[in-house]
Structure 1
């Protein structure tokens, strides 16, 4: 049988033929938060399954740990709505003492070096106002006196509600909420099959654990499998409804100055203006919670057909382009002060070519013809920020 960190008697307040009311597939931050929200609803009996031996081991542990403000996304998009709602839930819970995790509301600067980028910042400001996300322009001279090592030739747009958070502690917070509500966690449990049983209106999920196959029945399924979400969805859906994933790797680089800088570089996150229709926000300067600078992610499209083929080794060939990108806003940096650190991979619903022409939103939907089967696809940045709001959104699909 699969390993569990918490077990409960299999019963609900509603008679059912299934062992669980919901199975949530994927133990990243979105899956854990969703399982916790569902388990806290009266009558639910939720199983969270994760293929690794601990939670939060893939995309959740391989990102910038930024709390995004939500200013980049179209106002009608799920990315905008859930990012802002998730950010607000994080800060409200933290300020009220109900979120015991390490975080800092440090703020962010988006810097423009020429007229084209300055125009972009004004458009970003207009979008932020439409979304009711606070932003303000910082006078260039004031910025130079505060952080003389940061270059912004034309303009700086400040986002005061951006921040950083410990992803590990955020996962642990939701895991505790799930287990304290008597949820069940199945570790080392890989989904290898899903079958819809329309006669009894439930599902059979086949899990591989320790070389054995275990079949579990459930009334509902939440597919929050991250990089593997398209594969999981396609286990259930007919061929004509299959999803395709593309994988975009982001390399991160650690920073150790060759000679002492002798002054504070910044205590703000520093973002360049992204290229038009880019699939990422550019190679930015971010901080960890100890104040250490790091740079990334860049964008490297992978030629793999499955997440099982991903090589997470940071690509040393990307160091020079990253240095050249960072030098635009931090000219004191030297190439030898950077070293490859780690990488993460974003699940994309659009190819590199398609991403240049179209915005890719989160896909969160109950699949037609499969009642209770909810897919979460393309959950990339700002997924960490949005996780709590995504969880509430999924809960509302089931508990209208």
Structure 2
């Protein structure tokens, strides 16, 4: 077993020798770190990297697994979303639009593998076409390019696609190598002087200011994931909960019982495709279904051009239940055949699963009236200065990661901050 935190221990030792750190002048000077970020998925990495760039601060990133991004961030469709589904005035829309531009710019500047594949949203009847028309109208309002395709364009570009009522094309949708993206964020965080604790589980969080002794910040009790060794306590002036599937647990450690929340988990199964035909070059999505927990079993591509389908939505109680369920295959094949009828059903197989943290059994799309839609929950909790809580960070979390990082920094240090 790799020791839990050799890099951090070495750095902390060197800092003790060097003497006291220069923290931000508006916060307590007695903590081990200025910022502690719990959770090293794409969003946690982006936040930690953003905060580590601030002069006179120190940031530690705590992750329970042995490497970054092993949960939701690496078990998704790796799609760069355009921002079409999340309704007016939502954080999801705001941060997806900003994050998309930041992500494309970063990928191009740092040679992170990505592709502007485009996406087709497909309607088979008048009701589904109504959903596409609503999406198109909303896209125009938020200045995201979309356009309907003529029948000849559909047949010429993707002859195997069935679209009885029509296709809405999103030209700014793409795909990214999420592992390469997170590797870049981790390296950039390290270059900015950040510290990282892997194999480390948070077992308790205490808000120091609650004792009325004038001390602010948070005491974070940790232990190695394998349970060997004793507990360690780290103190931080600001605590950012970006723990993904464990975020509700962390939140409930900090907040009083009357503010505790129940976690919900949407399991999504992905399906592989072993045949060489049909092989579209565009991402294919069925028309959004109001009330669904996701965007429907869609066709995506990886950076090697391999076709995969998913995810579907299966509500589960166990966030570690990543075993593909064979019972999901038949329903998925039926959905896929609706828009790709020549698909070889025998070549579709179970691949992998991902779990999305949810605030409830909520819709993955805003729909026409927003009923059942849940936005990102990102806020500094009232009465807990410096505690920024991120809950329900599902899709479009990967697309929004860099924008979420900016947003968290603004909460802590912007004009509206409590600093």
The alignment's TM-score, normalised by the length of structure 2, stands at 0.90
2: distance between equivalents of 1:4 and 1:137? 55
Structure 2: tracts of 5 or more residues without a match = 415-419
Listed as ranges, the gaps of 5+ residues in structure 1 are none
Between Structure 1 and Structure 2, how many residues are aligned? Answer: 390
Q: Deviations over 1:120-171 (max 9, x none)?
A: 1110001111111111111122211221111111110000000000111111
Q: Using the alignment, how far apart are the partners of 2:55 and 2:45 within structure 1?
A: 18
Q: Secondary structure at the match of 1:240?
A: helix
Residues in 2 aligned to 1:397 and 1:352: alpha-carbon distance in whole angstroms: 26
Q: CA deviation at 1:211?
A: 3.5
Q: Which residue number in structure 2 is paired with residue 56 of structure 1?
A: 69
Structure 1 CA distance for aligned equivalents of residues 384 and 157 of structure 2:
57
Correspondence for 2:361: 351
The C-alpha deviation readout for 1:212-255, integer Å capped at 9, x for no partner, is: 21001110100000000000000011110011111110000000
Residue number among 337, 348, 369 corresponding to 2:347 in the alignment: 337
Distance 1:353 1:281, change over 3 A: closer
> RMSD over aligned Cα, in angstroms?
1.7
What are the Cα deviations for residues 170-220 of structure 1, in whole angstroms up to 9, with x where unaligned? 111111111001100000110000001112111100001144210011101
Give the superposition deviation at 1:351.
Answer: 2.5
Match of 2:265 in 1: 247
1:212 paired to 2:230: yes
Q: Say which of 55, 79, 84 aligns to 2:92.
A: 79
1:313 and 2:323 matched: yes
Q: Where do residues 11-22 of structure 1 align in structure 2 (5 Å cutoff)? A: 11-14=21-24, 16-22=29-35
Aligned equivalents of 1:94 and 1:336: distance in 2?
Answer: 36
Mapped to 2, the partners of 1:174 and 1:333 lie a distance apart of 38
In 1, the alpha carbon distance for the partners of 2:141 and 2:6 equals 45
**Alpha-carbon deviation of 1:354?**
12
Structure 1: distance between partners of 2:94 and 2:363: 26
Matches within 5 A, 1:1-400: 2-5=4-7, 7=11, 9=15, 11-14=21-24, 16-95=29-108, 97=109, 99-198=110-209, 199=213, 200-209=215-224, 210-257=228-275, 261=277, 265-302=279-316, 304=317, 307=319, 310-351=320-361, 357-400=371-414
Q: Distance in 2 between matches of 1:122 and 1:188?
A: 48
Per the normalisation by structure 1, the TM-score is 0.94
Cα deviation for residue 70 of structure 1 reads 0.4
- Indicate the SS of the match to 1:73: coil
Indicate the residue corresponding to 2:417 in structure 1: none
